[in-house]
Amino acid sequence: MTDVAARPAPADVVQELRNFLAGPGADLRARWGRSTSFEARLDWQRTLAAGGWAALGWPEEFGGRGLGVRDRVACGLELAAAWAPVLAGVLGVNNVGPALMAFGTEEQQASLPKILTTEEIWCQGFSEPGAGSDLASLRTRAVADGDDFVINGQKIWTSEGMEATHCLLLARTDPDAPKHRGISALTIRMDTPGIERRPIRMITGESGFAEVFFTDVRVPRSSLLGPLHRGWDVTMATLAHERAGVIGLAAELEHNVTAELSGALGTTTAAEGPQAPLLRQEIARRYADARIAGLLGLRALADEERGAPPGPEQTLIKLAWGRAVERVAATLLEAAGPDAQRAGSAAMAYLRAPAATIAGGTTEVLKTLVGERVLGLPREPRPV
Ligand SMILES: Cc1cc2nc3c(=O)[nH]c(=O)nc-3n(C[C@H](O)[C@H](O)[C@H](O)COP(=O)(O)OP(=O)(O)OC[C@H]3O[C@@H](n4cnc5c(N)ncnc54)[C@H](O)[C@@H]3O)c2cc1C
């Protein structure tokens, strides 16, 4: 299989990372194995930051590696192959950091080095009960009062919300404006009085999210990120640059799924019984799903390299990725057979998989985008 990473990348940066992973990275692997606990993620990020590998795409002036998309994807795959878990401060590095670089004041940009070292862990307070896919309906209010804003409302599904030291919050600052306007982005400390967080326990027993309640939370006006009432633009501008992340998803999917399916295929080839041929067909279908995601990734990479603006591949990759993660998990569970009941990993992957069809845009919403923006079908009328 030709995956995105296997394509030639400047050997020096990939080799440099391999050397790092064979040195300090090997110590991390010895310490944590394949653990994805928050402690393991913190340790990995601190070690990567010390070696200058925590922010592959950030410009060097902000402490990043300054890599282009192809190198980032290639390095991302090296990290995945070394079982490096997701960074503890992934939202800070991938989303908040670029927003601070683009819109932050000097004072706000002072957070950038701390985001790399994990001194600051950032979460994103966007979704609310009743405002997920339709984020612009958010109701958390930030009311100007002298030199402060006073915040009241509730956020939900806040990843890393229990561990975060800081939050990039979206709140309504002008309730009379049309709903996409009148929203502002605020940078706030999570230890500010009036903030209460509660863990959300998932079906796996894990708790990666929090609900966060804001009651008369007072923050200075200097917390505003970007212009007043223009938080929507701040968020969209930042997300629009996440092409490398999406291409990385496609590449990792192709890489990981192939490895997982090979294991399952080994088991089912040896297995007897009437189900075995059907299961092998399923595995072949999943292999095709992963290849399609990988090919979309290559196309998006080619577009990026010739300077074309992000196109529909971004949506298609996320759609293909979510569906493939879900289907692969179901196939692996079937391949594990009755053993899945006691061998935890296939069952846990199956329980976690639906999240991939929700985070970053649900499958249904993405299908609508494909229908309207790729196929040119008539738009559904939407409330203003
Ligand atoms: C792993 C994970 C991490 C997350 N991390 C964060 C985070 O850090 N910060 C944060 O703010 N949020 C986070 N979220 C929340 C995420 O952004 C929302 O779950 C997502 O936007 C969907 O919103 P919702 O849950 O309110 O579902 P809803 O939008 O209420 O959707 C419910 C169902 O209705 C469907 N639906 C909704 N609108 C339409 C439509 N127009 N057409 C057709 N079908 C529709 C959806 O597809 C879905 O099946 C995270 C979610 C997950 C799964």
* CATH number for position 283: 1.20.140.10
- Tell me how many domains the chain contains: 3
Closest-lying ligand 1 atom to the alpha carbon of residue 130: 26
At 264 the pLDDT is 67
Distance CA 231, CA 179 (A): 11
Which of the residues 107, 119, 242, 380 is marked catalytic? 242
Give dist(CA 2, CA 295) in Å, integer: 9
In the beta sheet, which residues pair with residue 218?
Answer: 150
Centroid of ligand 1 to alpha carbon of 210 (angstroms): 15
Task: Give the chain's length.
Answer: 384
Contact yes or no for 312/373 (Cβ under 8 A): yes
Asked whether residue 31 falls in the same domain as residue 142, the answer is no
Q: Of 199, 229, 259, which residue is a domain's last?
A: 229
**Residue 158 covered by a domain:** yes
Q: How many CB atoms lie within 10 A of CB 196?
A: 12
Q: How many alpha carbons fall within 13 Å on the CB side of residue 155?
A: 28
Q: Are 135 and 23 members of one domain?
A: no
Residues 189 and 248 in one domain: no
Same domain, residue pair 299 and 223: no
How far, in Å, from the CA of 134 to the mean position of ligand 1? Answer: 8
Could you tell me the distance, in angstroms and rounded to a whole number, from the CA of residue 369 to the centre of ligand 1?
A: 15
Closest ligand 1 atom to 161 CA:
8
pLDDT at 284: 84
Do residues 326 and 358 both lie within one domain?
Answer: yes
Q: Is residue 349 part of a domain?
A: yes
Q: How much distance in Å is there from the Cα of 361 to the middle of ligand 1?
A: 6
Tokens linked to 255: 């890489």
| Site to substitute for ligand 1 among 362, 366, 380, most atoms within 8 A of C-beta | 362
User: Same structural domain for residues 152 and 211?
Assistant: yes
Q: Are residues 83 and 126 located together in one domain of the fold?
A: no
C-alpha distances in angstroms, 35 versus 19, 28, 29, 249, 329? 22, 10, 9, 20, 19
Residue 307 Cα distances to 53, 261, 293, 301, 356, angstroms: 25, 35, 21, 10, 29
Nearest-CA residue for ligand 1 atom 31 is: 133
Residue of 126, 133, 370 to mutate, ligand 1, most atoms within 8 A of C-beta: 133
Ligand 1 pocket residues where CB is under 6 Å: 123-124, 126-127, 132-133, 157-159, 355, 358-359, 362, 364-365, 368
Last residue of a domain, one of 184, 202, 229: 229
Q: Is residue 382 part of a domain?
A: no
Residue 303's contacts (CB-CB under 8 Å, 6 or more residues apart) are 310, 311, 313
Residue 13 CB neighbour total at 10 angstroms? 18
Residue 383 resides in a domain: no
| Closest protein CA for atom 9 of ligand 1 | 158
164, 255: one domain? no
In a domain, 339, yes or no: yes
CA distances from 345 to 120, 159, 229, 342 (A): 31, 22, 45, 9
Domain boundary among 194, 229, 264: 229
At 382 the pLDDT is: 65
Is 313 assigned a catalytic role?
no
* SS3 state at 199: strand
Q: How far is the CA of 289 from the centre of ligand 1 (A)?
A: 23
Nearest CA to ligand 1 atom 42: 365
Does residue 97 sit within a domain? no
Segments forming the whole domain that contains residue 281: 242-374
Alpha-carbon distance 95 to 16, whole Å? 26
User: For the residues of 261-315, what is the DSSP string, one character each?
Assistant: HHHHHHHHHH--STHHHHHHHHHHHHHHHHHHHHHHHHHHHHHHHTTPPP-THHH
Residue tagged 């090997």 (tokens): 26
- Taking the C-alpha atoms of residue 276 and residue 282, their distance in angstroms, rounded to an integer, is 10
Residue 114 belongs to a domain: no
Where helices occur in 153-274 by DSSP H, the ranges are: 231-240, 243-270
Ligand 1 pocket test: pick from 157, 162, 166, 206 the residue with the most ligand atoms within 8 Å of its Cβ.
157
Do 208 and 255 belong to one domain?
no
Q: Residue 71 Cα, ligand 1 centroid: separation in angstroms?
A: 31
The one-digit pLDDT tens for each residue of the chain (384 residues) are: 444 444 444 569 999 999 999 999 999 999 999 888 999 999 999 999 999 999 999 999 999 999 988 898 889 888 888 889 999 999 999 999 999 999 999 999 999 999 999 999 999 999 999 999 999 999 999 999 999 999 999 999 999 999 999 999 999 999 999 999 999 999 999 999 999 999 999 988 888 899 999 999 999 999 999 999 999 999 887 776 677 778 888 877 777 777 777 666 666 555 566 677 787 888 888 888 888 888 888 888 888 888 887 777 788 888 888 888 898 888 888 877 777 766 577 888 899 999 999 988 899 999 998 898 888 899 877 655
DSSP single-letter state for residue 144: E
Q: 370 and 286 in one domain?
A: yes
Residue with CA nearest ligand 1 atom 27: 132
Handedness of CA 370, 375, 377, 382 (dihedral sign): positive
Residue 31, SS3 per DSSP: helix
Query: What is the whole-number distance in angstroms between the Cα of residue 155 and the centre of ligand 1?
Result: 13
Q: Are residues 61 and 129 in the same domain?
A: no
Domain match, 61 and 127 both: no
Q: Considering the domain boundaries, does residue 178 fall inside one?
A: yes
Q: Is 378 exposed, middle or buried (0-12, 13-18, 19+ CB in 10 A)?
A: exposed
The enclosing domain of 184 has a CATH number of 2.40.110.10
Write the residue with the smallest CA distance to atom 2 of ligand 1: 359
* 118 Cβ contact partners less than 8 Å away, ≥ 6 residues apart: 42, 45, 46, 49, 88, 89
Model pTM above 0.85: yes
